Amino acid sequence: MGEYILELDRIEKSFGDVKVLNDISLSVKQGEFITLLGPSGCGKTTTLRIIAGLEKPDKGKVYLEGKDVTNAEPNRRNVNTVFQNYALFPHMTVEGNISYSLRLKRLDRARIKETVSKALELVQLVGFEKRMPSELSGGQRQRVAIARAIVNEPRVLLLDEPLGALDLQLRRQMQTELKRLQKHLGITFVYITHDQEEALNMSDRIAVMRDGKFEQIGTPQEVYDQPKTSFVASFVGSANIIYGTVSHVNEDTLVFENKNGIGIAARNKINILKGQKITVAVRTEHISLTPAASNRNAVGLMGVVKEKSFAGGLLQIFVNLADGQEIIASRHGIDSLLVPGDNVIVTWAPEKAILVDLEGAQ
Amino acid sequence: MIKRLYECIRSLKINCLAFLAVLPLFAFTFIFVIGPLAYMLILSFLQRAEVWGVVNKFTFKNYRDILEPVYLKTFIESFKLAITTTFLITIIGYPFGYFMAKLDAKWKKRMMMFIFVPFWTSSLIRLYGWIIIFRANGVFDRFLMTLNITDAPLKLLYSYPAVLVGMVYVLLPFMILAVYSSAEKLDWSLVEAARDLGASSFQAFLTISLKLTLPGLLSGVVLTFIPSMGLFFIADILGGNKVVLVGNLIQEQLMKAHNWPFAAALSVILMILTSLMIYIYRRISNVKELEGLV
């Protein structure tokens, strides 16, 4: 128990007939930066609210520093939240907002002032003490919300899509700053986002959520390179999900077939039988396309180039397979003489094809 | 204004045309609001004629008369009643409006109906309903006697409490609506933020909810206090001639004693007092407009 600062134990929560959280368990270490990543409506905000005490779970327990706080009021938990809409008190100055929790504790004025100015220094807002929230820009409000949440020296800081409302450039900058702040303060961060890039950049661990469940919890590297499910594979980064039936099982690889052709995937010591139906994830950047005319005997999936487009500095080539499935291949820089209408063979290095959705396996 | 009008006609710009369009409203206001007020002010400095009407002779007598103990007492009584009324309305109306804003949309609508339905009937007629309840051996008396709380009629009608109840009854919706419209705009996530930062639910209410709904509360106070200084028919119907308020006095001087200048002087003083209230309200709340004037 002692080594974890925050533990969620089999949490369940429903709103009316809708089950929002279904058996959620999570253990967070002191000083860890953990991100709950998932599409909107997956239950990540509810999870956060349960940790903060703003919502009570129907089943399950919440432990903070080993103590059961499941039914503790929010003001009795050493946890603070940076809300999605910042929730700054509009009738208080920046100073008033930040000092709110300290004033509730009835600390003496000199100490409050000192703590507030330290916090303002930390979030680089010195000189803004007397401003009202309405006089601040989005980024500045964001900083005030963070300062307000950390002056109380919480054991765990909860951040609910704190950068969601900011423009891309500011978001990148704040990502770096938040990470720096977290290292500096040594506070455990539970961070919510639906932006996979943000999650990969900042987190020590990522918990990928879907429909009120954790699909996978692991380091960014693990989640990216070894996705356990097709959802994780396609939500974190972008991957092609390919279905097939196993036709050969070798030492390190296996061969599968579908209507479009033949594919090879890494076995990863998983017990797979011939004839078993499998799902394989291949990242778009690992897809190779060879003109079908130049290599008649190549092993791969047969398709036709449909479209090429540039997105975010990447060239994306869309290929239609024989059964209509779409495969996306992405390339840095300008690529390929392939034009729409070309027949291609879709291949990949066997170790780049990861078996996913293995219910019960391993 | 004249200069602007002149420029307008010369330039014929769009916002100038808009200005021309609202001109009739200005004229209307001038004729039906400012005109009568000015007339009243002038009237209050004139003398009463022997039989009917006024004599065009300047005098301060009307204002001096107000200082007579009888009339001064009426002002003080009115003031006391208005304060008591406003106090009671605040205690009942604030929580009502506040919690109404917390209801879900369906119940909000229903509550709104409950509040508005009585408005479909004139408040005068509804006050007659209170007579049935309050009169000796009326509904209220019989109810208490059946429960053996009292053994004789209380004779509540034509008493101070009856007037107070009538005042609260008539003016309560204004407070509720003022507070409601203010609480409706309240962002509940701020209350959650306060709780998250260590405030108990009561502390969160005091420092966040109450502070942010204060404009509504204060405008509710103004909206109830000012009419309760001037309403005369409630004291008339439920108070008989036992409770005489400024409003009654003005009405009596105007309609019965035909002392128009004195009635005008009383009205001017009443207006000054209530304007003072609004001024104080603005100073306290820093709000320029009254909230809740739905």
State the nearest Cα–Cα gap between A52 and chain B, in angstroms. 7
Assigned domain for B216 exists? yes
Give residue A240's Cα distance to chain centre.
Answer: 19
Which residue ranges form the domains of chain A, and what is each CATH number? 4-231 (3.40.50.300), 238-356 (2.40.50.140)
**In which band, very low, low, confident or very high, does the pLDDT at B11 lie, cut at 50, 70 and 90?**
low
Comparing A103 with B22, the larger pLDDT belongs to A103
Average pLDDT score over residue span A351-358: 88
Residue B23 and residue B117 share a domain: no
Closest CB to A54: pick one of B192, B207, B212.
Answer: B192
Give A83 or B153, the one with higher predicted confidence: A83
Number of domains in chain B: 2
Measuring CA to CA, how many Å separate B48 from each of B44, B51, B53, B216?
10, 8, 7, 43
Q: Distance from B214 to chain A by nearest Cα, in Å?
A: 11
**Which residues, other chains included, contact A298 with Cβ-Cβ below 8 Å and sequence gap of 6+?**
A290, A292, A345, A347
Chain B neighbors of A104, CB-CB under 8 A: 197-199, 203
Assigned domain for B55 exists: no
Kindly indicate the confidence band of residue A295, based on its pLDDT and cuts at 50, 70 and 90. Answer: low
State residue A333's pLDDT score: 66
* Domain presence at residue B56: no
CA distance A219 to chain B (A): 29
Q: In the Cβ-directed half-sphere of A273, how many Cα atoms lie within 13 Å?
A: 3
Q: Which domain holds residue B197?
A: 62-285
Evaluate if residue A360 carries a pLDDT over 60.
no
C-alpha distance from residue A225 to each of A204, A218, A254 (Å): 15, 11, 19
* Domain-embedded: residue B52: no
The rounded Cα A31 to chain-centroid distance in angstroms is 18
Cβ of B189 and A83 within 8 Å? yes
Tell me if chain B has a CB within 8 Å of the CB of A81: yes
Same domain (yes/no): B218, B92:
yes
DSSP, residue by residue, B241-260: TT---HHHHHHIIIIIS--H
Between these two residues, B140 and A215, which has the higher pLDDT value?
A215
Structure tokens at B251: 């009405």
Mean pLDDT, to the nearest integer, of B199-224?
Answer: 91
Whether residues B138 and B194 share a domain: the answer is yes
Chains A and B form CB pairs within 8 A to the count of 57
Instruction: Specify the pLDDT at position A334.
Output: 62
pTM for this model (two decimals) = 0.79
Is B86 a domain residue? yes
* Position B53 in a domain: no
Confidence of residue A93 (pLDDT cuts 50, 70, 90): very high
Q: How far is residue A104's CA from residue A112's CA, in Å, rounded to a whole number? A: 11
Q: What is the DSSP letter of B33?
A: I
Q: Is the pLDDT of residue B292 over 50?
A: no
Q: What mean pLDDT is predicted for residues A222-230?
A: 92
Are residues B1 and B101 both part of a single domain?
A: no
**Stretch A176-196: mean pLDDT:** 91
- The contacts of residue A86 (CB under 8 Å, 6+ apart) are A133, A141, A142, A144, A145
The pLDDT of residue B137 is 78
Mean pLDDT of B1-15: 68
Select from B187, B190, B196, B206 the residue whose CB has the most chain A CBs within 10 Å, as the one to mutate to test that interface.
B196
Whether A101 sits inside 8 A of B203 (CB atoms) is no
- Tell me the per-residue pLDDT of A234-245, one tens digit each, with 9 for 90 and over: 899 889 999 999
Q: Contact A162/A146 with Cβ under 8 angstroms?
A: yes
Write out pLDDT tens, residues A195-210.
998 999 999 999 999 9
CB-nearest to B203 from A52, A83, A104 is: A104
Percent of chain A predicted with pLDDT > 70: 96
Pair of tokens at residue B202: 């009561």
Residue B226 belongs to some domain of the structure: yes
Measured CA to CA, the distance from residue B99 to residue B93 in angstroms comes to 10
Q: CB-CB: which of B193, B198, B212 is closest to A152?
A: B198
Question: Which long-range contacts (C-beta less than 8 Å, at least 24 apart) are formed by A72-77?
Answer: A73/B195, A73/B200, A73/B201, A74/B192, A74/B195, A74/B196, A75/B195, A75/B196, A75/B197, A75/B198, A75/B199, A75/B200, A77/A52, A77/A53
Q: Which residue has the tokens 């303060």?
A: A185
What residues in B contact A83, CB-CB < 8 Å?
Answer: 189, 192-193
Same domain, B39 and B126: no
Q: Dihedral of CA A317/A321/A324/A328: which sign?
A: negative
Looking at the structure, tell me whether residues B131 and B240 fall in a common domain: yes
Strand A239-249 to strand A277-283: parallel, antiparallel, or no bridges (unpaired)? antiparallel
Taking CA–CA distances from B190, the nearest residue in chain A reads: A87
B117 and B21 within one domain:
no
Name which of A131-145, B102-116, B143-157 the model is least confident about: B143-157
CATH of the domain at B128: 1.10.3720.10
Tokens of A359: 């219910």
Listed in sequence order, the DSSP H helices in chain A are: 44-52, 94-104, 109-122, 138-150, 168-185, 196-202, 220-225, 230-235
pLDDT at A217 over 70: yes
Task: Test A81 with B203 for CB contact under 8 angstroms.
Answer: no
Give the pLDDT confidence of A318-340 residue by residue, as tens digits. 999 988 899 999 887 666 678 88
pLDDT at position A1 is 46
Task: Assess whether B96 and B125 both reside in one domain.
Answer: yes
A15 touches chain B (CB under 8 A): no
- Chain B (179-198) residues lying within 8 Å, Cβ to Cβ, of chain A: 187, 189-190, 192-198
pLDDT computed for residue A283 by the predictor: 92
**Are the Cβ atoms of B198 and A75 closer than 8 angstroms?**
yes
pLDDT at A91 over 70: yes
Q: Are strands A79-82 and A156-160 parallel, antiparallel or unpaired?
A: parallel
Which is higher by pLDDT, B276 or A268? B276
Quick one: B139 and B33 in the same domain?
no
Same-domain check for residues B25 and B89: no
Burial, A98: exposed, middle or buried (Cβ in 10 Å; 0-12, 13-18, 19+)? buried
Whether residue A141 lies within 8 A of chain B, CB to CB, comes out as no
